[in-house]
Chains A and B, each alone.
Chain A
Amino acid sequence: DGGITQSPKYLFRKEGQNVTLSCEQNLNHDAMYWYRQDPGQGLRLIYYSQIVNDFQKGDIAEGYSVSREKKESFPLTVTSAQKNPTAFYLCASSTPGQGADTQYFGPGTRLTVL
């Protein structure tokens, strides 16, 4: 999991602003994921991408957008349409093959709306 990086570690946003969270991996993984973590809520899937130039909505995609132009990168944009964006955001990646179901997580970005 050391091959997945997220930046920034902390992010502050004013209401009405869009912000983009970075996720990069050098594990040569095909699939990447974005989760949101709130206290007592576990991890909830926002978006996932199985391959470059393709992505699918997860359970809570409203107010978020993603792109997957490169295998290594899967940035998440939190738009002003997301009404309660303050949370801990985790990126993960995985790849098909033996034992490849395992998702490896990045260190996370804590977003706070001021």
Chain B
Amino acid sequence: GENVEQHPSTLSVQEGDSAVIKCTYSDSASNYFPWYKQELGKRPQLIIDIRSNVGEKKDQRIAVTLNKTAKHFSLHITETQPEDSAVYFCAASDRYSGAGSYQLTFGKGTKLSVIP
């Protein structure tokens, strides 16, 4: 099955600096890569996603890049703010099911702390 590795496990940055979180995946058939943000005690919420036919996607201060050849994708947060502090999870689709829903395999998460 799919295996997703995520690094680093913790990351501290000064407010206003950039943060980068990296993930690698093992299954070359994976074609969907979402990123979730989870605040303490809350549910994970999708912040951005990318499909395998796109190399980069940007949404305001957040961007995701995908390198299919190397099988890795990264989350970039620019101009970080204290409210960006949370745990971030990457994920990759495992296999397509008959009903059209994708299973997701998650990385173990990165705890981002933005220091004011």
Residues in A lying within 8 Å of B, measured CB to CB: 1, 30-31, 40-45, 48, 50-51, 58-59, 90, 94-97, 100-108
Chain A minimum-CB-distance residue to B31: A101
B34 / chain A contacts, CB cutoff of 8 Å: 101-103
Q: List which B5-27 residues lie within 8 A (CB) of chain A.
A: 6, 9
New A-B pairs, 15, CB < 8 Å, besides A43-B106, A44-B106, A50-B101 = A30-B99, A30-B100, A31-B101, A40-B108, A50-B97, A51-B99, A94-B102, A101-B34, A101-B49, A101-B93, A102-B34, A102-B49, A103-B46, A105-B36, A108-B43
Partner of A105, one of B44, B103, B108: B44
B61 / chain A contacts, CB cutoff of 8 Å: none
A103 / chain B contacts, CB cutoff of 8 Å: 34, 46, 104
User: What distance in Å separates the Cβ of B9 from its nearest Cβ neighbour in chain A?
Assistant: 7
A-B CB contact pairs (8 Å), 23 listed: A30-B100, A30-B101, A42-B6, A42-B109, A43-B44, A45-B103, A48-B103, A50-B99, A51-B99, A59-B1, A90-B43, A94-B101, A94-B102, A95-B100, A96-B99, A96-B100, A96-B101, A100-B100, A100-B101, A101-B93, A101-B102, A102-B49, A104-B46
